[in-house]
Structure formats: C-alpha cells, structure tokens
C-alpha cells in the first residue's frame, strides 16, 4: 500500500509539472512580498475568507443572488490551481485593505484583477499592489505580457491599468451580438443598456519602465 501511495504522489507531481508546461520558474509558496512600500501582498489563506466575502458582497451588483453557496463557488475559483490570489496588507496597521489575483498562471499571458475595500481607495494602494503582483509573477513565471479586463464604465479600474502602461487591445460588448441586433430591431435595447469590456495588455518591459519613471506618481 505504501508503494501505491508513493506512486500516486509521483504521478501527481508529474501531472502538475505537465500542466504548467515549463511556465513556472519558481513555486507558489509566497511569504510577505513587497519591500519599502506602503503595502505588501501575501498568498490568500482560509483566514481571509470573511474579509474576502465582505469585499465581494459590497461590490456585487445582484445582491439577492449572493448566497453562501454562491460565495463558496467564488472562493473555490479564486483559489484554483491555475491562479494566484493574494491579500493586500497595509504595512502601518497590518490590516487587509483588498485583494489582487492572477488567473491563468499556467500560460504566458496571465490576467490581473484587483478588488479594494472602499475605505482604502485613493491611497495609491491598488496600483502599488498590482505592481508587486506583476513583479512576483515576472520573477516566478514565464510571462510575455499581462491581461487586464475592465468594464468600460469602471473609470477607476481603467485609470489603474492605463497608469501601469496598459495598452487597450479590444472593446467588446458583454452581450452576444445577435442579442444586441435583435434588441435594437424591436426597440427593446438602447445604447446605454449595452455594457462593454475593455481588454488591456501590459507588457513586462512597459511595466518595468513605468515603475522606474513614475514611482512617486499617486493614483
């Protein structure tokens, strides 16, 4: 039986290695990351669940469907093996001021996301935390560039990515085109009813240039 379990362990290690396909240079172990900054980031833990739930609920539009089961699904997805989720900690107080994450770290184009607590907005924390996350990813994974997606109406999110040197590559409606066409045809859909997702690309070189030249710029 012991040989069987050892075989399974080797098989699992091999499967993980195949999944990342050489994209990962280091490992997913992360301690406090961020020197000489106002904030640092650390890997998400079970102790962060209640705060993560609070932030998610605050910013979720359809609160009537925000059940515990729904939250558990979100929590499972954010902690998936193909992602890296981190808590953002204010150094001066040790308090959690938000969360940032990477999706698709098993590819060379991971997607960046961030969610801040409202009372920590406007302090440059979001921009600083995203820089730290991308720095960590660049050191530990094979990254060609980062993806950032933001609702066109979300001026704050777009401001952050543009300050980080993000280049707008596409702007797509959240509805399928046939729904939009039909809605327009029958007069049931106005232009202001259509929301768009803006996709940005942040190259590793642009991130480094921005960080060097604009370290003192405030979000």
| pLDDT surpassing 50 at residue 13 | no
pLDDT at residue number 29: 60
Type and span of the H or E element at 147 = strand 145-151
Instruction: Work out whether strand 167-173 and strand 196-203 pair parallel, antiparallel, or are unpaired.
Output: antiparallel
Q: Determine how many CB atoms are found less than 10 A away from the CB of residue 160.
A: 22
Closest C-alpha among 128, 132, 134 to residue 148 = 134
| pLDDT surpassing 90 at residue 22 | no
CA distance 51 to 97: 9
Phi-psi region of 33 (alpha: psi -120 to 50; beta: other; left: phi over 0): beta
Per the CB < 8 A criterion, the answer to whether 128 and 38 are in contact is yes
pLDDT at residue number 208: 52
pLDDT at residue number 205: 65
List domains and CATH numbers for the chain: 29-213 (3.40.630.30)
Closest C-alpha among 3, 75, 20 to residue 44 = 75
CA distance 79 to 47: 13
Percentage, residues of the chain above pLDDT 70? 79
> Residue 143 phi/psi, 5° resolution?
-110, 125
pLDDT at residue number 37: 79
Strands across the sheet with 167-173, in order? 39-43, 84-90, 96-103, 111-116, 145-151, 196-203, 167-173
The residue written with tokens 């379990």 in the block is 5
Task: Give pLDDT tens digits for 102-154.
Answer: 999 999 999 999 999 999 988 989 999 999 999 999 999 999 999 999 999 99
What mean pLDDT do residues 10-25 have?
Answer: 38
Q: Determine how many CB atoms are found less than 10 A away from the CB of residue 204.
A: 15
Q: Determine how many CB atoms are found less than 10 A away from the CB of residue 116.
A: 21
pLDDT at residue number 89: 96
Type and span of the H or E element at 40 = strand 39-43
pLDDT at residue number 192: 84
Closest C-alpha among 59, 52, 126, 55 to residue 90 = 126
Task: Give pLDDT tens digits for 155-189.
Answer: 999 999 999 999 999 999 988 988 888 888 898 88
Q: Average pLDDT over the chain, rounded to whole?
A: 82
Closest C-alpha among 73, 77, 123 to residue 97 = 123
pLDDT at residue number 147: 97
């Amino acid at each position: 039986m012991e040989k069987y379990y050892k075989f399974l362990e080797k098989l699992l290690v091999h499967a993980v290695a195949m999944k990342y396909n050489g994209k990962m240079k280091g490992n997913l172990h992360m301690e406090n990351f961020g020197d000489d900054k106002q904030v640092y980031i650390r890997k998400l833990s079970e102790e962060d669940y209640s705060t993560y739930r609070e932030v998610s609920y605050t910013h979720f539009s359809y609160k009537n469907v925000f059940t515990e089961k729904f939250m558990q699904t979100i929590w499972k997805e954010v902690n998936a093996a193909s992602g890296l989720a981190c808590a953002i900690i204010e150094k001066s107080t040790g308090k959690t001021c938000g969360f940032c994450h990477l999706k698709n770290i098993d590819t060379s184009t991971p997607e960046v996301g961030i969610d801040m607590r409202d009372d920590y907005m406007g302090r440059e924390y979001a921009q600083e935390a995203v820089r730290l996350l991308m720095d960590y990813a660049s050191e530990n994974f094979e990254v060609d560039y980062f993806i950032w997606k933001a609702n066109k109406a979300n001026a704050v999110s777009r401001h952050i990515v543009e300050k980080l040197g993000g280049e707008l590559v596409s702007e797509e409606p959240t509805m399928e085109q046939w729904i939009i066409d039909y809605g327009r045809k029958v007069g049931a859909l106005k232009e202001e009813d259509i929301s768009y997702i803006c996709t940005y690309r942040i190259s590793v070189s642009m991130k480094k240039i921005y960080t060097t030249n604009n370290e003192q710029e405030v979000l």
